[in-house]
Amino acid sequence: MTSKEMEDRSRSLLNRAKKLRRGFIIEGDDLIFVRDILFPNHPRLVEKTGPGIAGFEVRWNPDHAFPNYALYAIRIDGTAAEFSYKKCSRPNNIPQHAARAFREAVDEQIRAFKAQHPMIDWKIYHVDHYGAGPRSFLMLVRAFFEETGESVEEWPKLGSAFANYHYKYAALRPILAEEHLRRRKKEMP
């Protein structure tokens, strides 16, 4: 889906609220679009996700310079975070499929790390990215694009370049699988 298509579909959600003169819970195909395509591309995904996402809504936001309807991520703790569909549809954000491809590109490094730690029970532990920042895997992907100046649109051609970057900069550690999955859920809903 192109940036323009994402923006057009998002605008249609907001326009529907204007016509209804009320907000609504996003459901059905619209939920799939917001949850799986739009929201995961937000540049501050971890912050917007908070403890986890329960759903999405269109709500009235009187705090805007020009009060209007806006998209909200509803967190599992009951709080809500407004998010910009424009920030989610900009081409410099990391698409989920690119992040998955980059994970596959470094799979050999992850297997090598596990082999260096034969005393760890890898059935209950996972490999975690950490470091200054903290430097999660997605932060490392974003840093790769920022520091190399490569275009996000070129991600299919960059697997080996990212693997080299990962080898140089990734800090890995064992972490309990339960904790790792909780952290990743916050990072990518």
Closest CA to 143 of 115, 117, 171, 119: 171
CB 109 within 8 A of CB 115: no
d(CA 74, CA 72) in angstroms, rounded, equals 6
Q: Facing residues of 74 across strands?
A: 55, 80
Q: Is the peptide bond before 40 cis (omega within 30 degrees of 0)?
A: no
Which pLDDT score is estimated for 111? 95
| Dist CA 166 CA 1 (whole Å) | 28
Instruction: Report the distance separating Cα 127 and Cα 113, nearest Å.
Output: 8
Mean pLDDT by 10 residues, the chain (189 residues): 87 92 92 87 80 91 84 94 89 68 92 95 89 65 82 83 92 87 56
- Would you tell me which CATH number, out of the four given (3.10.450.40, 3.20.20.70, 3.40.1190.20, 2.40.128.20), belongs to the domain 3-89? 3.10.450.40
| Paired strand residues for 81 | 73
- Check residue 63 and give its pLDDT: 83
Domain chopping of the chain, boundaries:
3-89, 96-187
Q: What is the pLDDT of residue 161?
A: 94
Structure token pair of residue 136: 């999660």
Give the chain's radius of gyration (CA, Å): 19
